[in-house]
Structure 1
Amino acid sequence: MRMSKTLLASCGFMLASMNGCASDLPPIQPVSHVDLTRFMGSWYVIATIPTRFEKNAYNAVETYTLQSDGNVYTAFRFNNGSFSAPEKKIHSLGIVKANTGNAVWGVQLFWPLRAQYIVAYLSQDYSETIVARDARDYTWIMARTPNVSPHDYVILINKVKALGYDISKIRNVPQQWSNGSDDPVGVK
């Protein structure tokens, strides 16, 4: 028996919703406020518990652009498997949830599914951030530069651990830019 696309999408949405609440741990507390204008721009993925799409990512960069309706256009790009591999791009829409200080989003790759996105840590100068999910299945440690100091890296990993994640699943994302600067070619 064939299921309709609508029924399949509905089932997928229910599974995704349940996955976001599957943990016995308390919900992750978002930061109190995110200045969306300051948060926009490019973030290098330093380390992650990756989704299946990015498990072999090199030079991973997430770029946010604030839209006039208050939502956030996201462009994620990376080389899949090595620095010289072809670049892959994934575009999505971050829908900022009301009354969350702009720290909780629903990220929509395709309608009607939205993945939970919580800004769980944000440095005062907006140079480092941790994005998390209540399910503790995925997380992203990101920075405005392709590398962080070893001291900062340990602090960020410990913050992820304190959120209830299994840090043995974290993958460091290799970053190497051929233009010799901290800015990847073509990323603003």
Structure 2
Amino acid sequence: MSFMKRSFGFSAKSIVPRDDFPRAQLVDLDRYMRDWYVIAHKPPSITRTAHNSVERYRRGGDRRIDVTFTFRKDGFGGKLKTLRPTGFVVPETGNAVWAMQFIWPIKMQFVIAYVSDDYRHTIVARERLDFVWIMSSEPSIESNDYNRLVERVARIGYNPAHLRVVPQQKTGRS
């Protein structure tokens, strides 16, 4: 634990979820590095009315993930917003737990609760059940796939009624 505090500036205890909290067993970071379209979420207030939400992950170093999150506020023609947090992969978590830093020195828990075998769909959750994201490598997904992902979100402990579907345009990037 002292290694993690010294190397990452956070307490592993505050970032790593309890053992029974769902998380992917092993995340292949190279395959996970891509654009992920937010299909539905239990959103933070800043993205409550977001359209065309896209998370872009790129390797920034051994355990650092450079993130570019873009969305349009209040509709497809709304103002483009861009956030650039940094993710830090927590060692010994199968690359499924990240400490996400939006503002220094605060880091928040980011758990890859699920990623499909083909890396087309993912669920990112938090043990506090305050936020959750259902994401896809494409701007839309089949309704059967979506329903299965919503069921997974419910099994984690979220109320599916609190999910907001994020409108995505099928052509062009945000």
**TM-score bucket of the superposed structures, by smaller chain:** 0.7 to 0.9
SS of aligned partner of 1:53: helix
Q: Residue 160 in 1 paired to residue 149 in 2?
A: no
The structure number with the bigger radius of gyration is 1
Q: CA RMSD in A?
A: 2.1
| Offset of residue 28 of structure 1 | 1.7
The question of whether the paired residues in 2 share the 8 Å contact of 1:73 and 1:94 is answered with yes
| Offset of residue 29 of structure 1 | 2.3
The question of whether the paired residues in 2 share the 8 Å contact of 1:27 and 1:134 is answered with no
Judged with a 3 Å threshold, the aligned counterparts in structure 2 of structure 1 residues 104 and 71 are, in CA distance, closer, same or farther, namely: same
Q: Residue 143 in 1 paired to residue 132 in 2?
A: no
CA distance in 2, matches of 1:26, 1:170: 25
Q: Map residues 83-122 of structure 1 onto 2, 5 A cutoff.
A: 83-122=76-115
Indicate the percent of aligned positions where both proteins have the same amino acid.
37
Q: How many residues align?
A: 163
User: Corresponding residue for 1:37?
Assistant: 30
Q: Output the amino acid matched with 2:108.
A: A
1:62 to 51, 55, 63: 55
Q: Output the amino acid matched with 2:145.
A: D
CA distance in 1, matches of 2:160, 2:144: 17
CA distance in 1, matches of 2:158, 2:20: 12
User: Corresponding residue for 1:7?
Assistant: none
Q: Output the amino acid matched with 1:39.
A: Y
What does the per-residue CA deviation read over 1:87-135, in whole Å, with 9 as the maximum and x for residues that have no partner? 0001100000000010000000011111100000110000000000000
Unaligned runs of 5+ in 1: 1-12
SS of aligned partner of 1:156: helix
TM-score by length of 1: 0.81
CA distance in 1, matches of 2:28, 2:112: 11
TM-score by length of 2: 0.87
The question of whether the paired residues in 2 share the 8 Å contact of 1:28 and 1:132 is answered with no
SS of aligned partner of 2:141: coil
Judged with a 3 Å threshold, the aligned counterparts in structure 2 of structure 1 residues 151 and 157 are, in CA distance, closer, same or farther, namely: same
SS of aligned partner of 1:154: helix
CA distance in 1, matches of 2:117, 2:67: 22
SS of aligned partner of 1:148: coil
Query: Where in structure 1 do 4 or more consecutive aligned residues deviate above 6 Å?
Result: none
User: Corresponding residue for 2:173?
Assistant: 184
SS of aligned partner of 1:83: coil
Q: Residue 175 in 1 paired to residue 168 in 2?
A: yes
CA distance in 1, matches of 2:39, 2:20: 24
